[in-house]
Amino acid sequence: MARFLIAFALTLTPTLTLSAGDWPQFLGLNRDNSTAETVAPWKGDLKPVWKKTVGESHSSPVIADGVVYAFYQPKDKNADALAAFDAKTGKIKWEKSYERPEFKPPFGNGPRGTPAVSGGKVFTYGGTGVVACWDTKTGEVDWKVEALKDFGGKNLFFGTSASPLVSGDKVVVLVGAKGAGIVALDAKSGKTAWKATDDPASYASPTIINEQIVALTGSNVRGLGTDGKQLWAVPFRDLLNESSTTPLSAGGMIFASSVTAGSIAVKVTSDGKAEKVWENKALTCYFSTPVVVGDYLYMVNGSITAKSIVLRCVELKTGKLVWEKKDVGKYHAAIMRCGPAGKEQLLMLDDNGFLTLFEANPKEFKELARSKVCGNTWAHPALVDGKLYLRDDKELMCFELK
């Protein structure tokens, strides 16, 4: 990547040592819920190529080198488990776990953070604050760090939910402790590489934008150097401390959203200062990260009380609403951008288990295909080599979309 020149358009490329055909972390290779793969409209109901029973979790599946990884709580155990499955057949390769204290958050047990795969290792961040490094071939745990306990952080109401971020030879996690709001661990040893900020934690996963770590914490949209140096911050606090969406690089700006605070677009100036470009308090994203197509944002908005979400197309430069489609789910629907530039389409998996393909069309909502594919789900799907991997509250599944 080019060095960080803020006057130029921001790009997003996490430093993962994997091929472009993988989906190795939360929201995909670039952590922006996008893929260059094209999805053709299908007819009738989609049927799974394979499905496997897994434990409770809202963690999303990830795929690397032909292997699907699922992170969950084993049945009748106080533990976090990681399992590896053959991506083509669903055959299990291994399943390993570690014990941890009992934790029963509302709306389902098990981890919510999604694993990250890099350099022959899988990094996880469990709901009780345990960061672990697993070997991809054997499943053995190389090291484990009890981040909340070690750094003095307090767990969140729904448990630690932000996915780990691999940045070079470090693993970055949100802890929320004084002096350790954000922590980087050495990927080989688990030893502390650096710690920074007093920000409380959020449920939002950090990302990398032009060699900066960008995080939506419990109090700010914040940029850090990969060495932990604090570079800029814009106050942005959710009244319920339920910020859950990943920041996006969009049109030379950084976009962030929350369930009560709405959405903001931030621009970092040439002198390293950050300023708010626009704010729209009606654009309340709960835990669905929007996607960018051209000059528009496509997002799912809702609230904790409405029990109904709205799909919206929004003008990127101004935050103004272009169109909306109501009642696309209860609380959550994951959106994925598919196809090459200029030929994008959008896939949406809602929390009722319906998969919808629709046009990336700033004029109107135009559905291309729709099918019931699973039970209730809050996990994001992953698309690799024409196959869509997803999970509901009971099973991990693979669907052919070629």
3-state secondary structure of 42: coil
The answer to whether 364 touches 29, Cβ cutoff 8 Å, is no
The per-residue pLDDT for 15 is: 46
Contact criterion met (CB below 8 Å) for 247 and 265:
no
Please report how many Cα atoms fall inside a 13 Å half-sphere around the Cα of residue 100, on the Cβ side.
27
How far apart (Å, rounded) are the C-alpha atoms in residues 183 and 217? 12
**Three-class secondary structure of residue 149 per DSSP:** helix
Q: Digits of tens for pLDDT over the chain (402 positions)? A: 333 333 333 333 444 444 557 999 999 999 999 999 999 999 999 999 999 999 999 999 999 999 999 999 999 999 999 999 999 999 999 999 999 999 999 999 999 999 999 999 999 999 999 999 999 999 999 999 999 999 999 999 999 999 999 999 999 999 999 999 999 999 999 999 999 999 999 999 999 998 899 999 999 999 999 999 999 999 999 998 899 999 999 889 999 999 999 999 999 988 888 999 999 999 999 999 999 999 999 999 998 787 899 999 999 999 999 999 999 999 999 999 999 999 999 999 999 999 999 999 999 999 999 999 999 999 999 999 999 999 999 999 999 997
Number of Cβ within 10 Å of residue 9's Cβ equals 12
CA 298 – CA 364 distance, rounded (Å): 12
Angle at alpha carbon of residue 135, lines to 31 and 399, rounded to 5°: 50
Domains of the chain, by residue range, sit at 34-400
CA–CA separation, 390 vs 378, rounded Å? Answer: 10
Give the pLDDT of residue 402: 79
Euclidean distance between CA atoms 12 and 67, whole angstroms: 24
* DSSP state letter for 56: B
Question: What is residue 20's predicted lDDT score, i.e. its pLDDT?
Answer: 54
| pLDDT at residue 3, rounded to an integer | 31
Distance of CA 199 to the CA centre of its chain: 20
- The per-residue b/e assignment along 207-241, b for 16 or more CB within 10 angstroms, e otherwise, is bbbbbbbbbbbbbbbbbbebebeebbbbebbbeeb
Phi/psi at 150 (5° precision):
-70, -35
Structural contact between residues 224 and 195, judged by C-beta atoms closer than 8 angstroms:
no
DSSP state of 23: B
- Tokens 């051209």 appear where? 294
Architecture of the domain spanning 34-400? 7 Propeller (2.130)
